[in-house]
Structure formats: C-alpha cells, structure tokens
Amino acid sequence: MNIDVQSFKAINVSSDILVIGFFNEKAPPKGLAGEMDWILNSSLSSLVKSGKISGKVGEVVLMSSGRTKTPKIFWVGLGKREAFSPPVILKFAADLYERLEQVGAKEAYLDLWDIEGCRMDFFSALNAFLNGIFEDQKDPQRVPAIDLTFHARDKERVKEMNRTLKEINLKSILSFRAGHELSSQTK
C-alpha cells in the first residue's frame, strides 16, 4: 500500500477508480464532486434530487464513465457536513476498502476529507481511515494492497499533506493494526 497526495482536476485523474465524497445536503456538490457531476451531466445531482441517494454516511454508488481517464467512480456519502469527523471516517472506511477490492482496484484516487468547508487534520483523518480498514480485517497478517492517492484542493495543501506523510514512518503504516496511532519520525 502506497499513500500519496495530489491535486488534479477530475477530468485529469488517471486511476482504477475515483472515490468522491458528498454530503447529505440540498446544495449542489462543490470542488471535485462538482466537477465530476458536471462532467457526468449532473448524474449525482439527479440521483439526489430524485431521492435515490441522500449522502448518508456509508452510502456508495458505483458509476462508469467514458468521459474521463478513470473508468469507475464511487460516490460516497459522508453524512451531514457539520458532523463530519474522524469517527465518521472510521465508520465507513472498512466497507469502502472492501468495495474497492471487490471491483478489482489496484489504485484509487480519493476525495474524502479535504473538501471545501471541512478542513480536517490530515493526520487524524488518515489514522481514522487506516483504523477503519484494519478494524474489519479477517486476517490480521494481510497487508492491504491498494495504492491510495488522496486529493487536496490546492498545491499548498498537497505540500502540507505530503510533508505529513514523510514524517510518518512508512513501516508504521505497513505494520498498522486497528486501535493504534501512526508513529511519526519527528514526534
């Protein structure tokens, strides 16, 4: 499992799957979610408007697209914007990772927590995501194999998040088990 942070326009993401979070709210999606919704002719907005999806935590919709470099898109419900936090990430991470494995993803580009209006601490969010993945592992010796690239809104956030990743002992990620914290080389 490799972990990276980048800032691409939705149309330029090249991965096995694009994972985009959206909130349970009436407002149209913004940021990467808004870009992808526009590229796909308001497919997310239409599903929300029709009541077929709502954005509740853990809700996942798989779509395919011939209009982007990434053939598959997972829309992932993040719940209410004001309640979004590391415990919410912990709640949906295992299910999301299992779904990524089920669709055969080897790499995924995720826009889950650096979303406009939700400036969440990357270190805490990554801890919650990894705890969520490992919490549900049936084989504790199994190391997740999907490479994860997290989206950041701008170049400064990319630099900040990648600095955080460099501080984390990558052996810590590979030996990570649920209920633990990542260790930083600079703590």
CB contact set of 24 (below 8 Å; sequence gap of 6+) = 54, 55, 56, 77, 78, 79, 80
pLDDT at 109: 95
Q: Which helix (H) or strand (E) holds 119?
A: strand 118-119
pLDDT, one tens digit per residue, over 107-135 is 999 988 766 666 677 778 888 888 888 77
Q: Which of 19-28, 48-57, 77-86, 127-136 has the lowest mean pLDDT?
A: 127-136
Which architecture characterizes domain 3-174 according to CATH? 3-Layer(aba) Sandwich (3.40)
pLDDT, one tens digit per residue, over 16-40 is 999 999 888 887 888 888 899 999 9
Q: Which residues pair with 150 in a beta bridge?
A: 5, 110
Q: How is the chain split into domains, by residue range?
A: 3-174
